[in-house]
């Protein structure tokens, strides 16, 4: 309780009027971009104070740029942002790129998930967390140089609360059964035509769409890996092991485009970048682009030129390859990449898992984490 002689006034209106008088001079000197965003979240009046100003608008803009580039695997552009504003690596944002076709002068047209799965909506996450969810461990290392160890431990625990780098709310065995059902119909389907991958029997369509429905991105992504690469590996394995059972190139082409490439479009950017650029080429940090410089993502392509329904990507990421009758990805290259990601993921678990809880022993978790993605 204040004494009668205490003249301090903590009236919020007075506080706001005082801050408002000096905000142009004080805020730029004492608050960085992350502090402005965080302070605006603490109190409605602070939000009102900052939200109409250019500093807040700029802070939101650069955070949006950072998490957007991270979500699409555009790491060269992302690095330019985090080097200028390293404090933003502790700020959380929500980012989503709607899966739509944009043509000048026309309203956007939604792309059906039965055509292309689209990408993930990341909710209240940092760029570092998005990198880990996409198994972009090398990029997470680069960002981590600008972050405190305690901050990284905190962020890791938020998205992998059990200390295991896996996809959450996911049953791989169920997904494999759905994939097997598609295979069983495809190898017997007389309707499939390599010149038109949209043609299939009703039975094939039913099981294919069931697979799509289970695998496609959920409305929001908050924890765990975005995708389990084991399923894509299983699709490659089925094609290689049962090549002759497809009997003709109509069915082989259908499998490679409508199954393998559609699943590839779901991959985290740690896998999708080398896939789209071509495993036969040196990996670049420019994003998920084909060798002609065009984007892999459906929402940046023409309506009749979408991966997973119109074409598949070849080993060298060449101009989109159609009607090959052969798989685009090299199973051995993908297996090697998966093994490298597994080792990196195990290393991150051992470094950033909080060990104060008795049940969380790094050695045990590390053994669980080291899942052999693609041994076959």
59-68, 72-81, 140-149, 167-176: least confident range: 59-68
pLDDT at res. 283:
94
Residue 350 lies in a domain: no
- Which candidate, 357, 376, 352, 374, places its Cα nearest to that of 366? 352
CB 211 within 8 A of CB 179: yes
- Which candidate, 312, 345, 317, places its Cα nearest to that of 224? 345
Residue 113 lies in a domain: yes
Q: Does residue 47 sit in the same domain as residue 140?
A: yes
Residue in this structure with the two tokens 């101009």, named with its chain if needed: 319
Q: What is the mean pLDDT of residues 323-347?
A: 76
Q: Does residue 110 sit in the same domain as residue 136?
A: yes
Task: Tell me the Ramachandran region of residue 136: left when phi exceeds 0, alpha when psi lies from -120 to 50, beta otherwise.
Answer: beta
Q: Which residues contact 169 (CB under 8 A, 6 or more apart)?
A: 218, 224
Q: Rounded to whole angstroms, how far apart are CA atoms 168 and 223?
A: 7
Q: Does residue 155 sit in the same domain as residue 177?
A: no
pLDDT 10s digits, 173-184: 999 999 999 999
Residue 97 has pLDDT above 50, yes or no: yes
Residue 276 has pLDDT above 70, yes or no: yes
Q: Is 45 in a helix, a strand, or coil?
A: helix
N-to-C CA span, the chain:
73
Q: Does residue 179 sit in the same domain as residue 130?
A: no
Q: Rounded to whole angstroms, how far apart are CA atoms 74 and 85?
A: 17
Q: Does residue 179 sit in the same domain as residue 294?
A: yes
pLDDT band at 363 (very low <50, low <70, confident <90, very high): very low
Residue 375 lies in a domain: no
Residue 59 lies in a domain: yes
pTM for the whole structure: 0.84
Q: Is 109 in a helix, a strand, or coil?
A: strand
Residue 15 has pLDDT above 60, yes or no: no
What is the four-CA torsion angle of 42, 45, 50, 52, rounded to 10 degrees? 140
Containing 93, the helix (H) or strand (E) segment is strand 93-95
Residue 344 lies in a domain: no
Residue 20 has pLDDT above 60, yes or no: no
To the nearest whole percent, how much of the chain has pLDDT over 90?
A: 64
Last residue of a domain, one of 108, 137, 159: 159
Residue 139 lies in a domain: yes
Domain that holds residue 35: 12-159
Q: Does residue 178 sit in the same domain as residue 301?
A: yes
Q: Are strands 100-101 and 93-95 parallel, antiparallel or unpaired?
A: unpaired
- Which candidate, 333, 329, 342, places its Cα nearest to that of 372? 342
Q: Does residue 191 sit in the same domain as residue 67?
A: no
Q: Does residue 142 sit in the same domain as residue 189?
A: no
Residue 360 lies in a domain: no
Residue 130 lies in a domain: yes
Residue 10 has pLDDT above 50, yes or no: no
pLDDT band at 107 (very low <50, low <70, confident <90, very high): very high
> Where is pLDDT greater, at 172 or 352?
172
Per the prediction, the chain carries an average pLDDT of: 83
Q: What is the DSSP string of 248-280?
A: SHHHHHHIIIIIIIHHHTTS-HHHHHHHHH-TT
Last residue of a domain, one of 159, 188, 210: 159
To the nearest whole percent, how much of the chain has pLDDT over 70?
A: 76
Q: How many folded domains does the chain comprise?
A: 2
Residue 43 has pLDDT above 70, yes or no: no
Containing 125, the helix (H) or strand (E) segment is strand 122-125
- Which candidate, 166, 159, 140, places its Cα nearest to that of 354? 159
Q: Does residue 210 sit in the same domain as residue 283?
A: yes
Residue 371 has pLDDT above 90, yes or no: no
Q: What is the mean pLDDT of residues 241-249?
A: 95
Q: Does residue 89 sit in the same domain as residue 182?
A: no
Residue 21 has pLDDT above 90, yes or no: no
3-7, 108-112, 285-289: least confident range: 3-7
Number of Cβ atoms within 10 Å of the Cβ of 10: 7
Q: Does residue 191 sit in the same domain as residue 307?
A: yes
Q: Rounded to whole angstroms, how far apart are CA atoms 123 and 136?
A: 18
Q: Which residues pair with 289 in a beta bridge?
A: 295
pLDDT band at 47 (very low <50, low <70, confident <90, very high): low
CB 272 within 8 A of CB 296: yes
Last residue of a domain, one of 114, 130, 159: 159
- Which candidate, 48, 50, 42, places its Cα nearest to that of 23? 50
Q: Does residue 122 sit in the same domain as residue 250?
A: no
Q: Rounded to whole angstroms, how far apart are CA atoms 76 and 299?
A: 21
């Amino acid at each position: 309780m204040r004494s009668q002689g205490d003249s301090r006034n903590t009236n919020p209106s007075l506080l706001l009027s005082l801050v408002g008088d000096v905000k142009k001079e004080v805020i730029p000197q004492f608050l960085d971009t992350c502090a402005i965003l965080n302070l605006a979240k603490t109190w409605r009046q602070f939000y009102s104070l900052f939200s109409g100003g250019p500093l807040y608008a700029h802070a939101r803009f650069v955070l949006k740029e950072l998490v957007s580039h991270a979500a699409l695997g555009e790491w060269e552009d992302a690095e330019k942002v985090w080097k200028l504003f390293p404090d933003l690596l502790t700020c959380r944002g929500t980012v989503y790129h709607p899966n739509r076709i944009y043509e000048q002068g026309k309203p956007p047209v939604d792309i059906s998930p039965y055509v292309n799965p689209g990408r993930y909506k990341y909710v209240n996450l940092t760029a570092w967390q998005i990198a880990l969810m996409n198994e972009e461990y090398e990029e997470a290392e680069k960002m981590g140089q600008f972050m405190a160890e305690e901050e990284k431990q905190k962020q890791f625990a938020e998205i992998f609360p059990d200390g295991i780098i896996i996809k959450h709310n996911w049953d791989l065995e169920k997904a494999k059964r759905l994939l097997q059902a598609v295979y069983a119909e495809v190898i017997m389907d007389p309707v499939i035509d390599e010149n038109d991958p949209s043609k299939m029997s009703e039975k094939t369509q039913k099981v294919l769409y069931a697979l799509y429905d289970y695998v496609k991105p959920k409305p929001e992504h908050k924890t765990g890996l975005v995708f389990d690469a084991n399923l894509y590996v299983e699709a490659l394995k089925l094609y290689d092991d049962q090549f002759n059972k497809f009997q003709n190139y109509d069915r082989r082409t259908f499998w490679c485009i409508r199954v393998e490439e559609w699943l590839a479009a779901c991959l985290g950017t740690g896998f999708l970048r080398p896939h789209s650029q071509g495993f036969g080429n040196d990996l670049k940090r420019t994003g998920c682009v084909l060798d002609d410089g065009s984007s892999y993502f459906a929402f940046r392509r023409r309506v009749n030129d979408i991966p997973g329904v119109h074409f598949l990507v070849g080993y060298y990421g060449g101009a989109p390859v159609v009607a090959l009758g052969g798989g685009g990805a090299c199973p051995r290259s993908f297996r090697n990449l998966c093994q490298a990601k597994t080792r990196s993921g195990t290393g991150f678990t051992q470094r950033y898992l909080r060990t104060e809880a008795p049940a969380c022993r790094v050695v045990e978790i590390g053994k669980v984490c080291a899942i052999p993605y693609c041994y076959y």
